Amino acid sequence: MNHAPIQGQESEREPERDIFIGSPSQTINFPTFVITGVIVLVAGISPAIWKVFLSDIIAKNYFVNSLFTIAIIAILYSIWNFLKVHCHQYRITTERLIESYGVLNRVSDELELYRVKDIAFSQPLHLRLFKLGNIILDTSDKSTPIVVLIAIPDGRSISDLIRKRVDIMRSIKGVREFD
């Protein structure tokens, strides 16, 4: 028994395919990396400087050990931030946005594109210098009403791509937005 497709449905939908896979730029960690570099530099130079000023061996060792401890903590913090950004991925398919994140435990959030109500693009100065931008999606999804794609390269064209796919998915699903 053959059934004709219902009006608005396609007889053969195209298979879901990836149209963008990316992650935030490490540029968002720039301040952390600079501060860590300064701390490591100070910890590396300070023993030679303080050797002249501190004659007490115990005070000198305590001070140098404290600086090295702070430097190691700063390095570990920078490595953690690097890994958090490195393990964060955005995948936009023809039907969904899938955001995966987490260094030790992975979490994946999915958003059907037809649920996107509004798209905004912001480009603060620190991101604009590196040709990056944030894409802000206002959605009708209860679990993720606002989705922000952070520090995306060529964010304006990705934003336009999302808008086109949202329109296509809404027409396929027969969804209209009402306020």
Whether 9 has a pLDDT exceeding 90, the answer reads no
Give the whole-angstrom CA distance, residue 35 versus residue 40.
Answer: 9
The angle, 0 to 180 degrees and rounded to 10, between the axes of the packed helices 30-53 and 57-86 is: 170
Q: Is residue 4 helix, strand or coil?
A: coil
Confidence (pLDDT) at 20? 94
pLDDT in tens, 12-53: 567 889 999 999 999 999 999 999 999 999 888 776 666 666
Whether 59 has a pLDDT exceeding 80, the answer reads no
Confidence (pLDDT) at 53? 64
Q: What percent of the chain has pLDDT over 70?
A: 83
Q: Average pLDDT, stretch 146-175?
A: 93
Give the whole-angstrom CA distance, residue 126 versus residue 41.
Answer: 24
Using alpha carbons only, what angle is made at residue 141 by residues 137 and 143, rounded to the nearest 5 degrees? 105
CA atoms within 13 A on the CB side of 58: 0
pLDDT in tens, 85-94: 999 999 999 9
The whole-model pTM stands at 0.80
Q: Domain residue spans in the chain?
A: 29-84, 102-173
User: At residue 10, what is the residue type?
Assistant: E
Whether 10 has a pLDDT exceeding 70, the answer reads no
Confidence (pLDDT) at 7? 47
